[in-house]
């Protein structure tokens, strides 16, 4: 039973034994569409703004998407010495693209999402996330990210951000060793990839597998960062970076002097996100 008799959206996670709910306005659902790839729905919530789901799973809300989008973007861009060409796989809501384009040194930001429907829905219901789509450095492509990376020119990208759905359906391959090997080939010598890597409370097996596959694919170094994300299962989320060269911290001075406003990211938060609790440290040391 929900706490009140208002309309609610609820996402249940059977494997986690938990559920998350948001109260809705009387309008409730404002968009529903079955694309060739997935079912996209948008709800109007009482306190979290708009909510987009894909196949019933929460993707983002107006209120808290800044946490995820800033942490998928700024740590990796301030870790690379000089990122100019950035590829985003997935990310169709354009929030990651907007954050990438805040970096003046970025010359090209390509977003490759399999489903144009996600971007069109985001333009309508999350227009603030799409405000940089007209930037001359931005390219929006609608294609399978697996194929895109396989066919990419070797050494072309500085950073690859994998902003994907959960590892089921069209995103399954985006968590696999073969895809990571293709990313490695598409990255320059200093190149770094970052993958959204789910909840440390609920998905440690997947997190361990991501590190293992990244190393097997030829990345010598991998590193997980953690951050809050209230609308995802457990409210606690991660991204995992992989690189050929060792991670020697990040460009702290540049991060402190960033010429744009952030709501969550800062150099201090960046350092905190890299400080792993013992249970995560132990899991990754024992791989
Ligand atoms: N961060 C969100 C989460 O964890 O719930 C995901 C946001 S973003 C909307 C995820 C995007 O990945 C979707 O728009 C989906 O279309 C895209 N996607 C899934 N599989 C893909 C693939 N193989 N190639 C490119 N994009 C893909």
Q: For the chain, which residues make up each domain, given as ranges?
A: 8-59, 65-285
> pLDDT (tens digit, 9 = 90+) per residue, 34-78?
999 999 999 999 999 999 999 999 999 999 999 999 999 999 999
Residue 140, beta-bridge partner list:
111
Average pLDDT value for residue range 248-258: 97
Coil, strand, or helix at residue 240? strand
Catalytic residue (choose from 64, 115, 163, 182): 163
**DSSP secondary structure string for all residues of 3-59:** SSSS-EEEEEETTTTEEEEEEEEEEEEEEEEE-SS-EEEEEEESSS-EEEEETTEEE
Please tell me the distance between residue 115's alpha carbon and the centre of ligand 1 in angstroms.
8
Class of 65-285 per CATH? Answer: alpha beta
> pLDDT (tens digit, 9 = 90+) per residue, 89-98?
999 999 999 9
Neighbours of 191 (CB within 10 A): 24
> pLDDT (tens digit, 9 = 90+) per residue, 89-133?
999 999 999 999 999 999 999 999 999 999 999 999 999 999 999
Clarify whether 163 is annotated catalytic.
yes
Pocket of ligand 1 contains residue 42 by CB under 6 Å: no
Please tell me the distance between residue 128's alpha carbon and the centre of ligand 1 in angstroms.
19
Reported confidence tier of residue 167, pLDDT bands at 50, 70, 90: confident
Please tell me the distance between residue 256's alpha carbon and the centre of ligand 1 in angstroms.
30
- Calculate ∠ Cα 263-97-30, nearest 5°: 85
Pocket of ligand 1 contains residue 64 by CB under 6 Å: no
Class of 8-59 per CATH? Answer: mainly beta
Please tell me the distance between residue 92's alpha carbon and the centre of ligand 1 in angstroms.
7
Residue nearest to atom 20 of ligand 1 (CA): 171
Pocket of ligand 1 contains residue 121 by CB under 6 Å: no
End-to-end CA separation in angstroms for the chain: 42
């Amino acid at each position: 039973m929900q706490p009140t008799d208002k309309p609610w959206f609820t996402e249940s996670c059977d494997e986690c034994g938990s559920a998350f709910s948001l109260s809705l306005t009387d309008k409730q659902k404002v968009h529903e569409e079955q694309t060739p790839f997935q079912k996209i729905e948008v709800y109007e919530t009482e306190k979290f703004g708009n909510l987009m789901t894909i196949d019933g799973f929460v993707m983002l809300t107006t209120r808290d998407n800044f946490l995820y989008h800033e942490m998928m973007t700024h740590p990796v861009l301030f870790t690379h010495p000089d990122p100019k060409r950035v590829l985003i796989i997935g990310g169709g809501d354009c929030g990651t693209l907007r954050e990438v384009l805040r970096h003046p040194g970025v010359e090209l930001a390509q977003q490759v999402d399999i489903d144009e429907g996600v971007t069109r829905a985001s333009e309508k219901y999350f227009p603030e996330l799409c405000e940089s789509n007209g930037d001359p450095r931005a390219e929006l492509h609608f294609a399978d990210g697996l194929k895109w990376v396989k066919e990419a020119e070797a050494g072309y990208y500085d950073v690859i951000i994998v902003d994907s759905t959960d590892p089921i359906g069209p995103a399954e391959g985006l968590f696999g060793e073969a895809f990571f090997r293709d990313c490695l080939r598409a990255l320059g010598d200093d190149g770094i990839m970052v993958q959204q890597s789910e909840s440390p409370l609920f998905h440690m097996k997947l997190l361990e597998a991501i590190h293992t596959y990244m190393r097997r694919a030829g990345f010598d170094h991998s590193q997980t960062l953690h951050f809050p994300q209230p609308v995802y299962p457990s409210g606690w989320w991660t991204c995992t970076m992989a690189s050929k060269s060792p991670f020697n911290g990040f460009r702290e001075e540049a991060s402190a002097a960033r010429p744009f406003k952030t709501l969550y990211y800062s150099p201090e938060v960046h350092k905190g996100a890299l400080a792993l609790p013992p249970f995560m440290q132990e899991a990754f040391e024992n791989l």
